Amino acid sequence: MGQVNQNSRVQNLGKGSIKMAKTVTDAEMRAFRKKKRDARKRLNAMLAAGQITGAEFNKRVSALGSLKVGQAIPASITTPSKPADKMKGTEKSGDKVSMTLPTPPPSRPKKKKGSVTTPTPPPAGRKTKRKPKLYDTIDPRTGKPSGKKVSASRHLANIDAFKKREKEGTVMTEAEAKRGDKAGKRVMEILGFNKKNKGSSDMRKGGMVINTVDNRRKK
């Protein structure tokens, strides 16, 4: 039995029933891949132009992918199923197809170089808050500039107070005014008006208070 099998194998080899796989060169592989890429580009263009439907596109792409090296690409894959004249939004003029483009918006007016933009006034009926104008005032005790800015009414009141002191003869010098400020602060601290309820100056039981909350109903 073993001898018969060997003879049959030899006969089969002699007749050429067993075929060897054909070797593919790199040049053939590159050429086949280039043809497939060109066919795929053609399919994409036909789908964008509306010459084939989405279902036909999927079928043709799968058929193109099933081809092997050495097989020719059938013409049915790259042939459009609809004429190019029925494409929507296009106009055929000769061999070229021109797409209809949207109209651009109108151009904005150009500004002149010498023009000055005027501020728009507020609408009628709306009240606008104006900042009060401040004035450099004087010290009513000495009559010299105090370096403070106050409203117009307060500035006039300081002037009237200084004139009153001039009539009474109780105008103070700068040194006397400074001593009076220190004494006034000391009296206020003694009376408890300037006493702080938090910070290092708080001497109550429990040490320094970080924060206080006044829960009184009537303050």
Domain boundaries, the chain: 23-84, 135-191
Give 7's pLDDT tier (boundaries 50, 70, 90): very low
pLDDT, tens digit (0-9, with 9 covering 90-100), for 10-65: 444 444 455 555 677 888 888 989 999 999 998 888 888 888 888 888 988 898 88
Q: Facing residues of 90 across strands?
A: 99
Look at 211 and 86; give whichever has higher pLDDT: 211
Give 90's pLDDT tier (boundaries 50, 70, 90): very low
The pLDDT of residue 107 is 84
Look at 108 and 191; give whichever has higher pLDDT: 108
Q: What is the mean predicted confidence (pLDDT) over 162-167?
A: 89
Q: What is the mean predicted confidence (pLDDT) over 194-201?
A: 59
The pLDDT of residue 144 is 86
Whether the pLDDT of residue 6 is over 50: the answer is no
Whether the pLDDT of residue 73 is over 50: the answer is yes
Around Cβ 138, how many Cβ atoms within 10 Å?
17
Q: What is the mean predicted confidence (pLDDT) over 194-211?
A: 60
Q: How far, in Å, CA of 51 to CA of 81, rounded?
A: 6
Q: How far, in Å, CA of 76 to CA of 81, rounded?
A: 9
DSSP-based helix, strand, coil % in the chain, nearest 5: 40, 10, 50
The pLDDT of residue 114 is 61
Q: For 21-25, 52-56, 153-157, 165-169, which range has the lowest pLDDT when averaged over its residues?
A: 21-25
- Backbone phi and psi for residue 130, each to the nearest 5 degrees, phi listed first: -105, 140
Q: What is the mean predicted confidence (pLDDT) over 84-100?
A: 53
Q: What is the mean predicted confidence (pLDDT) over 196-208?
A: 59
The pLDDT of residue 11 is 45
Where would I find the H helices in the chain? 2-15, 26-49, 54-65, 152-168, 174-191
Cα angle value 216/217/219 (rounded, 5°): 70
The pLDDT of residue 118 is 64
